[in-house]
Amino acid sequence: MKLIVQLEDLLHQFQRAPKREDLRLSAWRIVVHESEVVALGIKDNSPGSVYTPPSYRQGESGDVFLVWGDGTCSQAMVQLPFSRESEYWLKALEQWRQASYEDPDAVHIPAPESLPLVAVEDRAVQKIISGDDKILFEQVDRWLSDKPSKAKMQGSIQAAWGYRHVRTSTGLAVTYQQSQFVSWFSFDSLIGGGFAKRRLIQPMEQEELWAQTVNQYTWMQKDAPPVGPQTQVILAPSMTEDMLRQFVLPNFSGDRVIEGQGAFSKESFQEQKQVFHEELTLAIDPLRPLELGSYLVTPEGVPANQTILVQDGQLKTPFLKVKDAVRWGAKPTAVPQGTAGLYLKHGAEVPWVKALEGVEDGVLILSVLGLHTQDSVSGSYSLSAPHSLRIMKGQIVGKTDVKLTGNFFADLAASTTKTALSDLDTHPYLVLRTGVQSL
C-alpha cells in the first residue's frame, strides 16, 4: 500500500477513534513525495565513468506534522516501513508522541482554499523516466564531441518525475505530478553553464548556453589588464543567485526576523523601512510556468501566491510559513525553494547585451571562492574571484583575477546598482560599484 494511503488512514483513525486516548490527534498534515530520477554524468571527459554512471533512483518518503489532543505537536520524517509488523505504525505514533513539544503558534492547520493553476509538469520528462532516455545519452555525446579540444569536461544531466501529495486534517487532499530537468557542464572546472527548470531544455536554449560558456572559456585563455579603483563589478546571473542565497534569503526568513536573528528587525518591516534603492523590487513568484521554484501548494497546505518582499526598496514582509504568519499576525506568504522562485528586478532593467555596451571599465564575476563563509547577517563580504572576465569599452577582453570587498546590503541600496536581464537565467546580471582590486 502507498505510503500516503497508510499515513492518511492512520491519522484519520487516531483523530476519530484512537486506540489509546493519549494518542488522540486533534489535527495533522502530511506531505509525501514519490519520485523517480534518472541521471548520467561526465567525469574528466569520460561519459558514464565509475563515479558518474547512468543511475536510477526511486523514492517514497515524506513528513508528518501532528497536533495532539493536549495541544502539543510533533514532526517526523517517514518512509515506507520495512517491518511487516502490524503494530509498526502504532509504535511510530508512540515515538512521535514522546517527541511532542509545546509550540502554540505552530499548531494552526490552514483551511483548504482553491489552488492556482500552475504548470509544474512536463510530460517529456516523464517519457525519459519511463525508458525513452536516448536524449540524455545523445546530449552527453554531443557535449563531448563539441567541447573545446583542450578542455577537461565535467557534467551531468538529471531528469526527475513524480507525485506530490499534500493532505491536512482540515480537508485539503491534493495530489499532483511534477517534473524537473537539471543539466550542467564545466570546462577545466573553471567555467561552466547550467539549466534547471521543470521542463526539458529547448534546443535553442542549449545552443545559447553552450555558445556563451565556450566563449567565456576562450576569453579565459587570454590575460587582460588589471582592474582599477573605478572598475565596475558585474555579477553574472549565477553569482547574483549565490549572493541572494547567502545574504538575502536568510534575512527574509520570517522565523529569523521574529527571533531577532536577521539583518532587519521586525519593526523595520512594520515601518516599511527603505533598505534597498527605490528602483529595486524583490519578490517570490511560484506561479511562473515550469520554473524550478514554482508549485501549487506549500507542504503546509498554503496555496501558491505571489509575495512582494521589497517594493521600491522598502521592506514589505519577510516570507512567512504558517507558524511565523500566526506570530506576525498576517497570512502565510509564498515560500522560495532555495533561491528558485526569488526574483530581483531594477526598475530600469535593460537586456544584458545593452548593459554590456555601456560598460567602459568593468569586470564580470563568474564565480568566487568562499562565499558560503561570509556572515549573512552583516552582509559584508571579502571574496577572491580568480578567473573573472575583464570588460573594456563594452567588450570582454580576457581573464583577470580580483578580490571583492564590500557589503551586499549597501550594494542593493546604492543608486549606482542596476540589474540587466539574462536570456538564460531567471536571475539578473547585477552591475555594482564595490571594492575591487587585483588578486
Binding site for another protein (CB under 8 A): 43-44, 46-61, 74-80, 82, 95-96, 98-103, 137, 140-141, 152, 188-190, 229, 255, 259-261, 263, 369-370, 372-378, 380, 382-384, 386, 403-406, 434-437, 439
Select 202 or 378, whichever has its Cβ closest to another protein.
Answer: 378
* In contact, 366 and 189? CB cutoff 8 Å: no
For residues 13 and 155, give the distance between their C-alpha atoms in angstroms, rounded to a whole number. 48
Least Cβ distance, residue 13 to another protein (angstroms): 20
Cα–Cα–Cα angle for 272, 278, 284, nearest 5°?
70
Least Cβ distance, residue 72 to another protein (angstroms): 10
**DSSP secondary structure letter of residue 56:** E
Select 134 or 354, whichever has its Cβ closest to another protein.
Answer: 134
Least Cβ distance, residue 155 to another protein (angstroms): 13
Select 82 or 348, whichever has its Cβ closest to another protein.
Answer: 82
Select 43 or 127, whichever has its Cβ closest to another protein.
Answer: 43
> Residue 378: left if φ>0, alpha if ψ -120 to 50, beta else—which one?
alpha
Main-chain dihedrals φ then ψ at residue 157, nearest 5 degrees: -130, 135
Main-chain dihedrals φ then ψ at residue 16, nearest 5 degrees: -90, -50
Least Cβ distance, residue 360 to another protein (angstroms): 17
Instruction: Report the side by side order of strands in the sheet with 342-346.
Output: 314-315, 307-311, 280-284, 342-346
Handedness of CA 365, 369, 372, 377 (dihedral sign): negative
Select 21 or 101, whichever has its Cβ closest to another protein.
Answer: 101
CA distances from 9 to 15, 30, 362 (A): 10, 12, 61
Select 224 or 263, whichever has its Cβ closest to another protein.
Answer: 263
- Cβ count within 10 A of residue 155: 24
Least Cβ distance, residue 178 to another protein (angstroms): 18
Least Cβ distance, residue 351 to another protein (angstroms): 29
Least Cβ distance, residue 43 to another protein (angstroms): 8
Grid coordinates given for 79? 518512509
Select 152 or 316, whichever has its Cβ closest to another protein.
Answer: 152
Select 38 or 201, whichever has its Cβ closest to another protein.
Answer: 38
Least Cβ distance, residue 277 to another protein (angstroms): 18
**DSSP secondary structure letter of residue 423:** S
Handedness of CA 207, 364, 158, 173 (dihedral sign): negative
233 beta partners: 363, 432
Find the Cα–Cα–Cα–Cα dihedral 371, 375, 379, 384, rounded to 10°. -30
Select 191 or 420, whichever has its Cβ closest to another protein.
Answer: 191
Q: Which residue has the cell 501548494?
A: 297
Q: Which residues contact 121 (CB under 8 A, 6 or more apart)?
A: 161, 176, 177, 178, 179, 198
Least Cβ distance, residue 357 to another protein (angstroms): 25
Select 32 or 287, whichever has its Cβ closest to another protein.
Answer: 32
Q: Buried (b) or exposed (e) across 16-38, using 16+ Cβ within 10 A?
A: eeeeeeebbbbbbbbbbbbbbbb
Least Cβ distance, residue 162 to another protein (angstroms): 12
- Cβ count within 10 A of residue 283: 18
